[in-house]
Structure 1
Amino acid sequence: MHDVSPIRAKSGTNQEGASAHNRRVMIEALRLNGALSRADLARATQLTKQAVSNIIEDLERDGLVAALGTVRKGRGQPFTPYRLVPEGAFAIGLQIDRHLTRVVVVDLIGNVIARANAGLPFDEPSEGVAIILALIADVRRELAGLFAQSEPRLVGLGVAMPGPFGLKNSDNKWMMPAWQQFPLVEALAAGTGLNVGLQNDAAACATAERIVGAAHGVDHAVCLYVGYGIAAGLILNGELYSGGNGNAGEVGMALLSPAGPGSTPLEHRASLASLYQHLGLDPTGANLYEKIGELALAEDPKVMDWIKDAARDLRWSVHLIETIFDPQTVILTSSAPEALARRLLDAMQPLLPSIADRPVRRLPRLQLGTTDPWAIAVGAAAEPISRAFDPRFSAILKAG
C-alpha cells in the first residue's frame, strides 16, 4: 500500500460533457503534488478509476503527462506514478514597468527557459512596443533552438504592468497614462500572433509566489508588493482574485489621511519610487538594484531613515489587509534586493493588533516572499499556463 496522506486537488465531475474540466483538475493535481498514481488521482479528484485512466491516456498522447517506473511497496499491488512533462507547454511572460521591460519563457511547471530585458522610453508606448516585440522574438528564437517543436506548444503571452486600469484620472503619472491609453493588448497580439492576457504587477507577483514561493499550497494569502509603486495580489480560496475591473488589491492608492487637501496615497511614501527620491537616485540609472542592496547591507543612515518611515505605513497596510481579507498569511514581496526587503520586514514588527492576531497559527502573520526582480515576469507567464490548464468551473455549469 502506498502513501495515503491527503493530496491537494479539486473535485472532478463524472457527469457527461465535463472532460475539459476533468483534464484541468488532473493537471493541477499533478502540478501541486508531483508524481501521482491513477489510484491517487481517483481518490483525490473523486473521479472513477476508468475516467482517470481515460484522461491520463489522453494527456500522455498530448505530450503533457509521462509515466515513471513501476513502484513496488511491501506486499501491496505495484503502481505507476505519472508526472507532468515540463516541455509539454510553454508560455511567455512580459513585465512592463515605468522604465524597463523584462521577458521570460517558462515551461508547464514554471521553469524559466529564456529571458531578456531592456530599458523603455518613459510614456512612449509606440517605441516601447517595438522594443518589446524584438525581445519576444529573441526569446522565441532561443526557445526554438532548445525545443524544436516549441511553437505549437506556446499557449500565450501574459503581460503584467502597474495598475490600476481604466480610471477617470488616468493622466496621473503614477499610472503610466500613455500606456494606459494605448491599445497594448491588441498591438502585442498582432505583433506576436499569440493570445494575450493583461494583469497588474501585484497579481503577477502573487501568481509567482503561488507557483514557486511562500504561497504554494496556501489557499488564503495576500502578497504585499513593494516596487516602484505598491499593490497587493490576492489569493482567495486558492485562486487569484482580480476584482470586477482587474484592479483588486491596489492598496497603494489607499489614502494615509482623510480625503481632501494634504491626503497622501500609501505608494507616494512607502514605495521604491519614494526611496529613489529620498536618496536622489535616478530610477533609470545603471546598477540601481546592486547599489540599493549595498546601501541596505551597510545600513546607510538615509536608507534606514526611509525604512523606518515606510515600515510605519506598511504596518498599517498589513492591518488593513488582515482586517478585510482574513488571510492565512501576508507575504511581503518586492523588486528590491533581499537585504532591503528583509530590513523593511524586520522594521514592520511588531505588527498592529488585528483579527489575525490569533493564539494558534500555522503560518506567520507576515513573512518575506520573493525579492527576485524577475518574479513579476514569471508570474505573468503563469497566466496563460493557468488559462490553458487550470480548472474552470464553468465547464461543469456548461455540462449541466
Structure 2
Amino acid sequence: MNERRPIRAKSGTNYEGTSTHNRRVMIDALRINGALSRADLARATRLTKQAVSNIIEELERDGLVTAGETVRRGRGQPSTPYRLVPEGAFAIGLQIDRHVTRALAVDLMGNILARAQATLPPGGPAAGARVVLALIAEVRSALAKVASQSERRLIGLGTAMPGPFGAGVGSSGDDPWMMEAWQRYPLLETLRSGTGLDVGLQNDATACATAERMVGAAHGLDHVICLYLGYGIGAGLILGGELYNGAGGNAGEIGMALLRNGSGVRTPLEHRASLASLYQHLEIDPAAKDAHEKIAQLASSDDPRMGTWIEAAAADLRWSVHLIETIFDPQTVVLCGGTPAALAGRLVEAMQPLLPSIADRRERTLPRLQLGLTDPWAVALGAAAGPISRAFDPRFSAILKD
C-alpha cells in the first residue's frame, strides 16, 4: 500500500487493558477509509505493528475482517489490504412516528437488506405496540432469508422516536408534538421481551445524525451538526467524533427554542418551520398515506402557498444555523430528515445567504450548510446504525490523543 496515503483514524493506546478500545479503533479506521494494510493501520492509529497484527488476527477469527490480495509496489515489502466483512454483524432499526412505523435491517457497513412499514392504528401504544412487534418480526424474517447467519450475528435493535424525552410527561392530555402517550409507555421493556434483543433508544434527530455519520454527509467528520427537519425539528450533535445526547437524552432539541412572532407571542421553532407546520399551512392531513407525495409535488411546482411557507421557514432556519454555528463551531451543518428532496433543496437555497457567524472562515474546505439524507427511511436507518455504533465504534473520550 502507498505509505503516503492520508488516513483518518482515532488513536489507539499501547497500555495494557485497552484491547477493546484498540479493536474498536481498528474497525472504525477500516469503515472510514476502506481497505488498509497493517502498516497503514499502525501508522494511522499509533499502535505498534505487533498490536495491529494481533487485533487483525482476532477480527479475522471473529468474521469481521477479511484479507484481500497481496499488493506489490516497487522494491518494498508486499502488503495485504484488510477490509470489513459486511456480513460480520447485523442490526435492526425501528422508527416510531406519530402516524407510521418503519423497520429495516442493515449489515455492518450500513447496507439496507430488508425493510417494511405500517400505519399505526388509533388508540396509542397499547394497540400500536402489537403492530410494531409484528413489523420487527417481518423484517427479521426477511433478513434471515438473505443472510443465513443473521440471527447469530444480530447485535441489537435500535429505536428512534420524537423527543424531547421526559419533558411534559405526566401532564394531562397527549401533546401531539411530543407523543406523550408513547413516552409514558414501557416501550423498551416491551421490545426487549417481545424480540429477545438488546434495545436502545434515540430521538429522531440523533438517529438521523447517526445515519449521516455512517453513510451520509457526516461520514469521516468529527464536528457536524445535523439539522433534522421532519414532523418536528431537532439537531443531532456529532462532537469530537462522538454522538452527544446530553444529560437526559434531549441535547439538540432546537425545535423547542422559543421565537417571537410579529405580535410578540413566543412560539416554538418547530411550530413554525417543521413539516407539521407545513401540513397545517397547506391543510393536508399528515396521517394521509399520500401526504408525503403531496408535499413533494407541491415543492416541485410553483404553488404560491408553498413559496410563502418556504420564505418564512427559511428565515427561521437561517437563524437556527447561525445559533448552531455560534455555539458548536462545526465543520459543517447538514440539513437532513424525512423532508422530500425537492422541498429540502428549496429550503437550503432560500436560506442563502447565511447570517454572518464565527463559522464564516476563509480556510473552510466544506460548505457551512449542505444537504444530507432526505429520505423517510433515514431515521430508521440511523436507529439501525445505533447498535452497530454501540458495539464497534471507539469511545475515546477517556483515551485522547496527545
1:242 aligns with 2:245: yes
Distance 1:122 1:268, change over 3 A: farther
1:283-298 pair list within 5 angstroms: 283-298=286-301
1:205 aligns with 2:214: no
Distance 1:159 1:43, change over 3 A: same
For residue 139 of structure 2, what is the aligned residue in structure 1? 139
Which one-letter code corresponds to 1:195 in the other structure? D
Give the CA RMSD over aligned residues. 1.7
Give the match's secondary structure for 2:139. Answer: helix
Which one-letter code corresponds to 1:276 in the other structure? Y
For residue 391 of structure 1, what is the aligned residue in structure 2? 394
Which one-letter code corresponds to 1:384 in the other structure? P
Which one-letter code corresponds to 1:16 in the other structure? E
Distance 1:5 1:324, change over 3 A: same
For 2:116 and 2:345, the matched residues in 1 are separated by: 27
Q: Tell whether the 8 Å contact from 2:38 to 2:80 is kept in structure 1 after alignment.
A: yes
For residue 67 of structure 1, what is the aligned residue in structure 2? 67
Q: Tell whether the 8 Å contact from 2:64 to 2:85 is kept in structure 1 after alignment.
A: yes
TM norm structure 2: 0.95
Give unmatched runs, 5+ long, in structure 2.
none
Shift of 1:261: 8.1
TM norm structure 1: 0.96
Compare 364-373 and 4-13 and name the one that shifted more. Answer: 4-13
Distance 1:191 1:349, change over 3 A: same
For residue 187 of structure 1, what is the aligned residue in structure 2? 190
Which one-letter code corresponds to 2:254 in the other structure? V
Instruction: Provide, for residues 214-265 of structure 1, a one-character-per-residue CA deviation record: whole Å limited to 9, x for no partner.
Output: 111221111111100000011111111111111000000000029x982100
Shift of 1:2: 2.0
For residue 357 of structure 1, what is the aligned residue in structure 2? 360
Give unmatched runs, 5+ long, in structure 1.
none
For residue 78 of structure 2, what is the aligned residue in structure 1? 78
1:107 aligns with 2:107: yes
For residue 2 of structure 1, what is the aligned residue in structure 2? 2
Compare 357-366 and 108-117 and name the one that shifted more. Answer: 357-366
Give the match's secondary structure for 2:152. Answer: helix
For 1:296 and 1:207, the matched residues in 2 are separated by: 27
For residue 219 of structure 1, what is the aligned residue in structure 2? 222
For 1:307 and 1:394, the matched residues in 2 are separated by: 40
Compare 90-99 and 260-269 and name the one that shifted more. Answer: 260-269
For residue 38 of structure 1, what is the aligned residue in structure 2? 38
Deviation above 4 Å: which 4+ runs of structure 1? 394-397
Give the match's secondary structure for 2:366. Answer: coil
In the alignment of these two chains, the number of paired residues is: 396
Q: Tell whether the 8 Å contact from 1:329 to 1:365 is kept in structure 2 after alignment.
A: yes
Report percent identity of matched pairs. 71
For residue 117 of structure 1, what is the aligned residue in structure 2? 117
For 1:170 and 1:323, the matched residues in 2 are separated by: 34
For residue 229 of structure 1, what is the aligned residue in structure 2? 232
Give the match's secondary structure for 1:101. Answer: strand
Distance 1:137 1:362, change over 3 A: same
Which one-letter code corresponds to 1:360 in the other structure? E
Q: Tell whether the 8 Å contact from 1:123 to 1:179 is kept in structure 2 after alignment.
A: no
Q: Tell whether the 8 Å contact from 1:123 to 1:176 is kept in structure 2 after alignment.
A: no
For 1:385 and 1:170, the matched residues in 2 are separated by: 33
Give the match's secondary structure for 2:374. Answer: coil
For 1:181 and 1:12, the matched residues in 2 are separated by: 41
1:342 aligns with 2:345: yes
Match for residue 278 of structure 2 among 275, 279, 296: 275
For 2:170 and 2:45, the matched residues in 1 are separated by: 45
Q: Tell whether the 8 Å contact from 2:168 to 2:180 is kept in structure 1 after alignment.
A: no
Q: Tell whether the 8 Å contact from 1:24 to 1:390 is kept in structure 2 after alignment.
A: yes
Instruction: Provide, for residues 26-62 of structure 1, a one-character-per-residue CA deviation record: whole Å limited to 9, x for no partner.
Output: 1111111100011111111111111111111111111
Shift of 1:169: 5.3
Compare 285-294 and 227-236 and name the one that shifted more. Answer: 285-294
Compare 154-163 and 69-78 and name the one that shifted more. Answer: 69-78
For 2:283 and 2:170, the matched residues in 1 are separated by: 26
Q: Tell whether the 8 Å contact from 1:91 to 1:381 is kept in structure 2 after alignment.
A: yes
1:322 aligns with 2:294: no
Q: Tell whether the 8 Å contact from 2:228 to 2:336 is kept in structure 1 after alignment.
A: yes
For 1:342 and 1:18, the matched residues in 2 are separated by: 45
For 2:122 and 2:358, the matched residues in 1 are separated by: 42
For 2:329 and 2:140, the matched residues in 1 are separated by: 41
For 1:22 and 1:92, the matched residues in 2 are separated by: 26
For 2:399 and 2:251, the matched residues in 1 are separated by: 26
Give the match's secondary structure for 1:256. Answer: strand
Compare 119-128 and 131-140 and name the one that shifted more. Answer: 119-128
For residue 303 of structure 1, what is the aligned residue in structure 2? 306
Compare 58-67 and 290-299 and name the one that shifted more. Answer: 290-299
Shift of 1:150: 1.1
For 1:231 and 1:327, the matched residues in 2 are separated by: 16
Give the match's secondary structure for 2:101. Answer: strand
Give the match's secondary structure for 1:218. Answer: coil
Match for residue 366 of structure 1 among 354, 365, 369: 369
Instruction: Provide, for residues 4-37 of structure 1, a one-character-per-residue CA deviation record: whole Å limited to 9, x for no partner.
Output: 2221111111122211111111111111110001
Shift of 1:394: 7.7
